[in-house]
Amino acid sequence: MPAPYEIRAGGDARNKKQSMADLKLRRLNELNSRLKEDLERPRIKVSEASMSLIQYCQNTRDFMVPSLWGQVDKREDPYAPQQPNGCCTVM
């Protein structure tokens, strides 16, 4: 006569713990690779970046700030309304 209850080997719990450990290891490895990529990214000092931005703003004409750059000719203004003889028509 067989026993009414079977004794489990406990392999299911052990496999679950192993898979959780593998998942944690994979996440740590992914985090480690992202941090290494961050370290390899070229960096510049804030003072250099701000000076570069200031020079760009002073040398690049911005059509959206006419008080600083003056009125813009309609032919030069990329934000001006399109001519009625444009390529597209809305019906």
Digit-coded pLDDT (tens) for 14-65: 788 888 899 999 999 999 999 999 999 999 999 999 999 999 988 887 777 7
pLDDT of residue 58: 85
The answer, yes or no, to whether residue 9 has pLDDT greater than 80, is no
pLDDT of residue 60: 83
DSSP 21-48: HHHHHHHHHHHHHHHHHHHHS----HHH
Coil, strand, or helix at residue 55? helix
Query: pTM here?
Result: 0.42
Q: Tokens for 68?
A: 């600083």
The answer, yes or no, to whether residue 81 has pLDDT greater than 70, is yes
